[in-house]
Chains A and B, each alone.
Chain A
């Protein structure tokens, strides 16, 4: 009680945050019961009848789950691997240019990050539109057939990867650049004395020194490996049904089940899967990382 009185002032400051987090983040956890229920709006979660694993059975028996799982996982693996590599690469390059230039480049690289996915959707529409898009006009100029980009799923893994990297590059590069400029200059001086090349310095000093940050970012991304950036998959593809074979991911599927089809059970089951498996993955990854090198683990 005495501790409570002593920390009363700070608790009061934290209180709005505590309550909001409780309401917006903890209360919904109760909804994890949903997939085990046959949810009826008028009965609420608790009073709706239990159905055991029926919703999961339904979900796992359809071919959609296989499709969305495959897409979600593959895209995320590529985003994590390629996204991290590209960001680190740009961060390393930023170190090679002067301060003024760094600022200018950072600003421009950040622009896509600052723009909403809707506007990005417009921007790529301007490139990919079948009749008026720059790409098809270019193809025409070379005497080639225009491509029906929004009708053919086979181009989309490539397009989506490029778009995702384009949008996230500025942010990633700045995070890693911040870590890089924090590295003690003495290491580099010593390395130069020994005649180490830039490449050698990057591989032997910079990358090992920023490894904790890289690992932290990767662990957090692994926790979200069953989640996708809804904006990317919904807006950039213009939610084109024809593209679903390669663009449908768990989030777009959950959204459709929930809003278009009103199938709360199925949407809930898929969401449950995302939460529980994602959480397990973070714990596992963190455990493995801690075994290898405790300094790099997240917690």
Chain B
């Protein structure tokens, strides 16, 4: 973090800093308010919701919703599993592929630097769109109901490459020169020198990828019909759309609830939302520092 460029000078407007702080606190509250309602509702007693609606502060804390969902967690666990392995695989492979590409075009002595930069930049400006991509995945690659359909599309994107390139450009050229003199090839330079030196950048891009994969529902919506490959967020869409989902035959069929079991559906829906979104909220503050750094470097033109 760079030091503040603006040493604190007492503003001539009395209290103006306090006003700014109050303003920010208000906006921060607005930012998280909707989530607080979801959390509050998930902890509410079903009859309280029916009587007085959703609320941040439950009249009494009631964990029935969570108990019901976790009592028979088959589908939920399976979705978690799909989320975990697509995210892990996608983020790891995506990091390597993106960084490798970005490293090549960040090197001033690389012969195809210009051509490959244009090659990636063009993809940011011009795309085939949803339909051709759909046909590619479904008809040409035959990836419907294939786990690769949940991984391939996000592995490399122009914006990520440019972000990474911005970072790698700041590494001193002399480092590679001396390594080469010592007989290292590019692959060794990349894995032994570049990757360890770019941890903040890797953390940033890693978080981008993790978020993208974890939060994805779009790829499931398009390419997945097999229940065993459905991701958490997609499961949530169904729950959200269908008020009665948790009490429907479909939910029984999915094994979310046992036949004949009555589910407190209002609070359970919100509880499910918390269970799905929770991990990201826990993970993200740890990365946030890097994330801001990454955006800072990446937003420099070039």
Contact = CB atoms under 8 A, between A and B. Distances in A.
B241 A131 contact: no
Contacts of A223: 125
A12 B187 contact: yes
A119 B16 CA distance: 36
Interface string A238-270: 110000000000010011001100001001100
Given A10-B104, A123-B35, A132-B54, A17 B97 contact: yes
B288 A108 contact: no
B276 interface: yes
Contacts, number: 292
B248 interface: no
Contact of B17 (A97, A182, A184, A267): A97
A96 to B, nearest CB: 5
A123 B41 CA distance: 10
Interface residues of B, number: 106
Interface in B1-30: 1-2, 4-6, 8-9, 11-13, 16-17, 20-21, 23-24, 27-28, 30
Contacts of A212: 301
Residue with the greatest number of chain B CB neighbours at <10 A, chosen from A9, A169, A170, A239: A9
A284 B16 CA distance: 43
Interface in B197-225: 211, 214-218, 221-222
Interface stretch (A21-29, A70-78, A153-161): A21-29
Interface of B: 1-2, 4-6, 8-9, 11-13, 16-17, 20-21, 23-24, 27-28, 30-32, 34-35, 37-38, 41, 49-50, 52-55, 96-98, 100-101, 103-105, 107, 110-112, 116, 119-121, 123-136, 139-140, 152-153, 155-156, 161, 185-187, 190, 211, 214-218, 221-222, 233-234, 236-237, 240-241, 266, 269-270, 273, 276-277, 280-281, 284-285, 288-289, 291-292, 295-296, 299-301
Interface of A: 3-4, 6-7, 9-18, 20-21, 23-32, 34, 41, 44-45, 90, 93, 95-99, 101, 103, 105-112, 114-127, 129, 131-134, 136-137, 166, 169-171, 174-175, 178-179, 181-185, 188, 192, 197-198, 212-213, 216, 220, 223, 230-231, 235, 238-239, 251, 254-255, 258-259, 264, 267-268, 271-272, 274-275, 278-279, 282, 299
14 contacts: A26-B123, A90-B27, A96-B17, A110-B288, A118-B233, A118-B276, A127-B34, A129-B54, A178-B296, A181-B296, A182-B300, A216-B301, A255-B130, A278-B126
